[in-house]
Amino acid sequence: MDLAAAGLKEQPFRTQGAPTSIVSYASHLEGLEAIRAACETRNGLALLQGPPLSGKSMLIRHLVDTIDDDQECAVVDGTGLNTSTLLEATLQQFGYKADFRTDNELLGMMRVFALQQAAKHQPPLLIIENTHRINPSALRVLCSLAELKSLKENRLISALKIVLVSDRSLDSIMAAPAMAAIAQRVAVNFQMQPMSCDDAKDYLREKLRRAGSRIPEYVFPNSVCVELWDASGGWPGVLDRIAMLALSRADSLPVSISAIERPTLPHSDWDAQSIAELEHALGAPPEPPKLFVTKD
């Protein structure tokens, strides 16, 4: 069905690129509040976990859109990153454009930036998505950064706030002795939960409304909303995809249950290395930086 025929001005269930708007639901709001609270603590570090399409990226976007103006923030995809690429990606997100030859130089720049920001404004916030896909060398340097402290108002605080996001459980990684610098800072370990049926109904209709529908209840009747919720398992990313597909398949309004596809739902089983393998991979910490630089 053409979107205009459904009274829509735009695609309400975008599955690529940034969504036009954020529609909250119970688990989203609980996670947002928990991570904000963790970041406000002296040593704030939060874990955000859930299967693919469970709403983690939407929550992170909401968090970034609402942080204070004086707090620097970097959002980095951890997939395949090693020491160099993690530091380079993070510094680029923080606004640095410099060519450094060694990991020590990169780490030195990152340390100086974090300490300066923590002392003058607020500790910068580093968010790493797909943490379960990051290389052990990057985890080692992340532990080094997690140990940075700054003196502010006569008390020591962590100079870098950290949120680690993962499709799979991070428990095995956090249990490795080499990860103690991060594990001991964890203030919140939030697990995304699926929507309730009422959440899903409100979510679907609010998205239709924001896209221009005057009567979203006519586009997706109650029975269709229930079927979409059940087929999606309550996960928002899956719900968006099957709602978009159902809308495109419909010949006329209201959309019928027969237009709804039932996909294979995501799961979050962890299949990473064992703790012993992680200990071996993480090994010794990196050398302390020898070069200190300031931001241009």
For 171-208, the pLDDT digits (tens) are 989 999 999 999 999 999 999 999 999 999 999 999 99
Q: What number of residues does the chain have?
A: 296
For residues 100-122, average pLDDT: 92
| pLDDT at residue 5 is higher than 70 | yes
pTM: 0.88
| 215 residue type, one letter | I
| pLDDT at residue 143 is higher than 60 | yes
For residues 159-178, average pLDDT: 94
pLDDT of residue 273: 40
pLDDT of residue 221: 97
3-state secondary structure of 18: coil
> Cα–Cα distance between 293 and 295 in angstroms, integer?
7
> Cα–Cα distance between 203 and 23 in angstroms, integer?
6
More confident residue, 16 or 230: 230
Q: Which helix (H) or strand (E) holds 125?
A: strand 125-129
pLDDT of residue 237: 93
| pLDDT at residue 296 is higher than 80 | no
pLDDT band at 283 (very low <50, low <70, confident <90, very high): very low
For residues 254-275, average pLDDT: 72
pLDDT band at 278 (very low <50, low <70, confident <90, very high): very low
* Structure-block tokens of residue 295: 């931001």
> Cα–Cα distance between 279 and 11 in angstroms, integer?
47
More confident residue, 70 or 100: 70
For residues 98-115, average pLDDT: 90
Please tell me which of 5-9, 41-45, 160-164 the model is most confident about, judged by mean pLDDT.
160-164
pLDDT band at 267 (very low <50, low <70, confident <90, very high): low
**Beta carbons within 10 angstroms of residue 71's beta carbon:** 15
Average pLDDT, rounded, for the chain: 88
Beta partners for residue 129, in sequence order: 77
> Cα–Cα distance between 46 and 38 in angstroms, integer?
6
pLDDT of residue 276: 44
Q: For 49, which DSSP code?
A: E
